[in-house]
């Protein structure tokens, strides 16, 4: 069974704080993703990584950065949290190759920025 | 610009009913159309997917119907059960891209 774990289920931070969201997968997948999920907007891709130290911007990268130092771990960083970044954040992993490969999601981190 | 439009936003049916969720896409280069199911407190999980070379795919009680000329696809849940209550997302992608473009989601409630 593929397992994708996220460091926190719930997180409350203050405006301006630096926030780290951690994601770990145990299936040796090459691809990892960070999405945010908002009601009525579905899932929107923030960043994608296809290898260690490799990353690509998704559709909404502004205000975020990522780090992938090890294959199994993909971190999302909010450099200076703002209230409009209050959201559910989902991490996913996927084997390399065709986009048809299933993406496996973690349970999500619900972040509230006050 | 939303490339995959999903409707309805929410849906309530009685047990045994057949909820239908519809999606429409714009990019004719899309060639992979999955549906993901998300239960409360969980991440989405792949439910069923279709390629445009077929017009229908069934897996158990779940069926995808695909209309390439209309650029539409839909999910039908036969004999729906309360355990099917979840949020359903359609998505689309093309083989040359890693990106999945998700619809806005449909919250389904199946009443006992």
pLDDT digits (tens, 9 = 90+) for A47-90: 999 999 899 999 999 999 999 999 999 999 999 999 999 999 99
Q: Which residue in the set A44, A50, A108 is minimally distant from B98, CB to CB?
A: A50
Within 10 angstroms of residue B11's Cβ, the number of other Cβ atoms is 18
Count A/B contacts: CB-CB distance under 8 Å: 57
What residues does A38 pair with on adjacent strands? A42
Average pLDDT over chain B reads: 94
pLDDT band at B96 (very low <50, low <70, confident <90, very high): low
Give the pLDDT confidence score for residue A97 in this predicted structure.
75
Tell me the HSE value of A65 on the side-chain side, using a 13 A CA sphere.
6
Mean pLDDT (whole number) for B19-35: 94
On average, the pLDDT of chain A sits at: 94
Residue A58 to residue B99, Cβ atoms within 8 A: yes
């Amino acid at each position: 069974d593929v397992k994708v774990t996220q460091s926190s289920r719930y997180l409350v931070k203050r405006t301006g704080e630096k926030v780290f969201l951690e994601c770990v997968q145990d299936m040796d997948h090459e691809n990892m993703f960070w999405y945010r999920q908002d009601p009525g907007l579905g899932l929107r891709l923030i960043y994608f990584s296809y290898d260690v130290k490799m990353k690509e911007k998704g559709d909404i990268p502004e205000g975020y950065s990522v780090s992938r130092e090890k294959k199994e771990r993909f971190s999302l960083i909010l450099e200076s949290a703002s209230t409009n970044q209050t959201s559910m954040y989902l991490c996913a992993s996927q084997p390399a190759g065709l986009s048809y490969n299933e993406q496996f999601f973690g349970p999500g981190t619900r972040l509230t920025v006050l | 610009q939303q490339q995959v439009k999903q409707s309805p936003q929410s849906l309530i049916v009685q047990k045994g009913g057949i909820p239908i969720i519809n999606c429409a896409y714009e990019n004719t280069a899309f060639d992979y159309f999955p549906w993901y199911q998300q239960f409360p407190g969980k991440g989405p999980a792949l439910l069923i997917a279709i390629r445009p070379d077929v017009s229908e795919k069934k897996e158990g009680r779940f069926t995808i119907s695909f209309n390439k000329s209309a650029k539409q696809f839909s999910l039908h849940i036969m004999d729906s059960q309360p355990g099917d209550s979840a949020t359903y997302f359609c998505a689309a992608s093309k083989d040359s891209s890693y990106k999945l473009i998700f619809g806005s989601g449909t919250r389904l409630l199946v009443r006992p």
